[in-house]
Amino acid sequence: MPCLVSGKIKRPGRFELGVRLFVHIFLIGLLSFLGFLPRLFFLAFMWPCAWGMYFSSRKLRRQAMESLGIAYGVTLSRRAKQGIARASFFNLFFGLAEFVYVIARPGRCLNMFRVEGLEHVKAAHAAGRGAIVGIAHFGPFAAMLVRFLYEEFTVKVVMRAPRSRAWREEFLAHSQRFAPQPIYSTPLRGCVTACFQALKDNQLLVMPVDQNYGGAGRIFVDFFGHKAGTAAGPAIYAWKTGAPLLTAFARPEEALGGRRWTIVLEPVILDRSLPEQEAVLKATQEITSRVESFTRRYPAQWSWMHRRWKAEPNEHDVVRAARTACPEQPRGEI
């Protein structure tokens, strides 16, 4: 795809075109192969890959142990923490693998998930204002989003862009047919505009709520008894547009046998009797508290490899949050 650089159109070179062609053929071939592969064979193939990545990911294992140490302190033994860290790694790996599998075989989602609270999303869709859904890196969070496509919702997900331009463009192209469509978090202006447009078009705007955020406008809320830098985006968009704010978590259901999950959708109420910044802070804390609640119940389902407490608050954070947490709505939107 040509791009504009310094007022001139820059066309991709042969190498870039070759990389994109390779990525295109790889993705088409992978999805076609998985479309015929039984799930048991798929999982049997993925287990050696999972173990190989686990033993080669020393840095991630160390980060998981650090995060568990912050969250649980001395209340858990080192062996218990190691068990949770290992299970967390495998659950994340297979959750992402399931996402690829359900893209190739979308009907798998109907057997994999059942939904509680779907009436909240349907009511929001009927009202025509879209809905904001906060999710965490918990369980098969990516595959969970494919399930919403069966309710005839258009799903947009705010995410980091792949570093490779070829992967970024090919993923965007394929997602329009098979998966939730991404809104890349950079550039910021484009991300904000696309988020407002998604809500204006009555779509589901999905935003991760459990990642460390150290940028300007961060809000620090309690997570496992420690302050964690958090992006207040979901609450901000809900406040400015009037769109309903929900959380969604995939709860494991052992009684159903195999890898079966219940998607739990719950509304978050914005207290509009409070000033904007206080209401946003309160709602963001409520969302984060729900992430903590699910994580405490199922600690191996959350991604402990992420450095959730990386950002540290200082005396300027409260003032900065009050002044810059809420981006202005672009003119012409909603």
Residue pair 182/14 in contact by the 8 Å Cβ criterion: no
d(CA 286, CA 292): 10
Q: What is the pLDDT of residues 202-230, one digit of tens each?
A: 999 999 999 998 766 679 999 999 999 99
Q: Which of 43, 39, 87 is nearest to 61 (CA)?
A: 87
Position 9 in a domain: no
Cα-to-chain-centroid distance, residue 68: 21
d(CA 47, CA 38): 15
pLDDT at 102: 82
Mean pLDDT of the chain: 82
How far, in Å, CA of 247 to CA of 204, rounded? Answer: 12
DSSP helix/strand/coil, 171: helix
Both structure tokens of 202: 């009555």
- Cα three-residue angle 291-179-57, rounded to 5 degrees: 55
Residue 220 lies in a domain: yes
Q: What is the pTM for the complete model shown? A: 0.83
- Per-residue pLDDT tens digits for 82-132: 999 999 999 999 988 888 888 777 777 788 899 999 999 999 989 998 999
Q: How far apart are the first and last CA of the chain?
A: 30
User: Is 270 inside any structural domain?
Assistant: yes
Residue 223 lies in a domain: yes
Residues near 258 by Cβ (< 8 Å), separated by ≥ 6? none
Q: In the chain, how many domains are there?
A: 1
Contact between residue 1 and residue 13 where contact means Cβ atoms under 8 Å apart: no
Task: Give the pair of three-digit tokens for residue 4.
Answer: 């504009």
Tell me if 184 is assigned to some domain.
yes
Q: What is the CB neighbour count within 10 angstroms for residue 288?
A: 23
Q: Which of the four pLDDT bands, split at 50, 70 and 90, describes residue 58?
A: very high
Asked if the structure places residue 330 within a domain, the reply is no
Percent of the chain with pLDDT over 90: 54
> Beta 261-268 vs 245-252: how paired, if at all?
antiparallel
State residue 148's pLDDT score: 86
| CB 21, CB 173: distance < 8 Å | no
Give the list of residues 6+ apart from residue 252 with CB closer than 8 angstroms, or none. 139, 259, 260, 261, 298, 301
pLDDT > 50? residue 328: no
Give 255-275 pLDDT, tens digit per residue.
545 578 999 999 999 999 999
Give the side-chain half-sphere CA count within 13 A for 318: 3
Whether 32 shows a pLDDT value over 80: the answer reads no
Query: Residue 24 pLDDT > 70, yes or no?
Result: no
Q: How far apart are CA 124 and CA 204, in angstroms?
A: 9
**Residues 5-15: tens digit of each pLDDT:** 334 444 555 66
What integer pLDDT is reported at residue 2 of this predicted model? 46
Other beta carbons less than 10 A from residue 18's beta carbon: 12
3-state secondary structure of 318: helix
Domain limits for position 155 = 14-324
6 domain residue, yes or no: no
Instruction: Answer yes or no: is 71 within a domain.
Output: yes
